[in-house]
């Protein structure tokens, strides 16, 4: 999971400048402030609402409602897996045509983005359907064999509301596929981020520290130690980053000089912040001290990243600043309150590991399909690079 916030105001092609490498005129202070402020807001929204939805997800009673649980073993090996995947992408772009690789990636994220966005908007859309809405139930069933050897391959249940959400999400998907517009990119990116924070659960604080610590080292090495991250990030066309144009005030919606924030800089700290919200609730003290502390720490860490980047005019690995803030601030609060033991001994008891997803024996819903794809694939893809 690379994690770098790009420096777009220096006119470099790396930071969202022209593909031919020509420099751009320096951005205005107003444009820079608007871009960074918007990126910060877009990062906070999926963390806040994803954390709230993660609580409801953890309380789900059905097998298909259980979140993907990341164990300490998963956390320890994830930076290694991500490094291998990143290096593999680097070699692919060096050996094969970038055009064809990105065509395949566009189709892949077209499908994945529609499912993620549909799952994201479904709770909001349900509030707008009238009471007398003709909501019909459907079932998609594929089997193989016959008689006693008959085996279900696909057995999905869905309704008309699900189809409406998929239809609306498909419009955004076609828009992204045809235009690669930055707004469509952000809609998919926000959906991926919210799904990740909601559905990827750390089993305890120790696991969170292992994951964030490992990715801290991963991030610094691949951003500062090699050109692999930069090469792949510049070649990789997919909605795995949030972008906002600095020249919006001058060019409107057709602006093309972007500031960028990788989804990993949102999802990875976000799942740790969501864990602390569930820990707050488990204490049954009717306070959300650790959640608000970690949320404020995230704002501080991302703000510090932007400040350092602006001073040194160089892209920064955001996790370099986010990890110490998001881990350190809550631990200091726990020390002050004498709750360190409770914090590190609290363990999630429900959920399934990403590498061994459950397969409910009853008819699954479209929502279950969306959730499994959006969580498992985010761990594999969105976690590789998000420059």
Which residues belong to the active site?
A: 219, 265
Q: Which secondary-structure segment (H or E) carries 142?
A: strand 137-144
DSSP label at residue 131:
T
DSSP notation for 178-237: HH--HHHHHHHHHHHHHHHHHHEEESBHHHHHHHHHHHHHHHHIIIII-SHHHHHHHH--
Sheet holding 364-365, edge to edge: 137-144, 151-159, 364-365
Number of neighbours of residue 185 by Cβ within 10 angstroms: 24
Q: Which secondary-structure segment (H or E) carries 244?
A: strand 241-245
How far is 93 from 87, CA to CA, in rounded Å? 10
DSSP bridge partners of 157: 139, 365
How far is 119 from 103, CA to CA, in rounded Å? 25
């Amino acid at each position: 999971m690379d994690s770098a916030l790009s420096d777009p105001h220096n006119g470099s092609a790396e930071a969202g400048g022209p593909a031919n490498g020509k420099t751009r005129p320096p951005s205005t202070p107003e444009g820079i402030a608007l871009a960074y402020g918007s990126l910060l807001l877009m990062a906070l929204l999926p963390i806040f609402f994803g954390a709230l939805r993660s609580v409801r997800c953890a309380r789900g009673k059905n097998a298909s409602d259980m979140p993907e649980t990341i164990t300490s073993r998963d956390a320890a090996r994830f930076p290694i897996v991500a490094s291998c995947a990143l290096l593999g992408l680097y070699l692919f772009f060096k050996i094969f045509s970038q055009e064809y690789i990105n065509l395949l990636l566009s189709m892949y994220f077209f499908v994945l983005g529609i499912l993620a966005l549909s799952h994201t908007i479904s709770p909001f859309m349900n509030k707008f359907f009238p009471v007398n809405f003709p909501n019909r139930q459907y079932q998609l069933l594929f089997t193989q064999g016959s008689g006693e050897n008959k085996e279900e391959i696909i057995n999905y249940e869905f309704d008309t509301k699900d189809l409406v959400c998929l239809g609306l999400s498909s419009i955004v998907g076609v828009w992204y596929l045809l235009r690669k517009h930055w707004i469509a990119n952000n809609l998919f990116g926000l959906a991926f981020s919210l799904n990740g924070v909601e559905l990827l659960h750390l089993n305890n604080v120790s696991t969170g520290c292992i994951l964030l610590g490992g990715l801290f080292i991963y991030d610094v090495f691949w951003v500062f130690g090699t050109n692999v991250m930069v090469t792949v990030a510049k070649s990789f066309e997919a909605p795995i980053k949030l972008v906002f144009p600095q020249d919006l005030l001058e060019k409107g919606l057709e602006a093309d000089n972007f500031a960028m924030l990788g989804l990993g800089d949102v999802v990875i700290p976000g799942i740790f912040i969501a864990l602390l919200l569930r820990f707050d609730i488990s204490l049954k003290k009717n306070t959300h001290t650790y959640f608000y502390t970690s949320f404020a720490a995230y704002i501080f860490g991302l703000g510090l990243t932007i400040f350092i980047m602006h001073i040194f005019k160089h892209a920064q690995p955001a996790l370099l600043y986010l990890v110490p803030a998001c881990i350190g601030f809550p631990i200091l609060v726990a020390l002050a309150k004498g709750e360190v033991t409770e914090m590190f001994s609290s363990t999630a008891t429900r959920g399934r590991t990403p590498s061994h997803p459950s397969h409910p024996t009853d008819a699954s819903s479209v929502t279950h399909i969306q959730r499994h794809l959006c969580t498992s694939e985010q761990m594999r893809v969105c976690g590789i690079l998000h420059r």
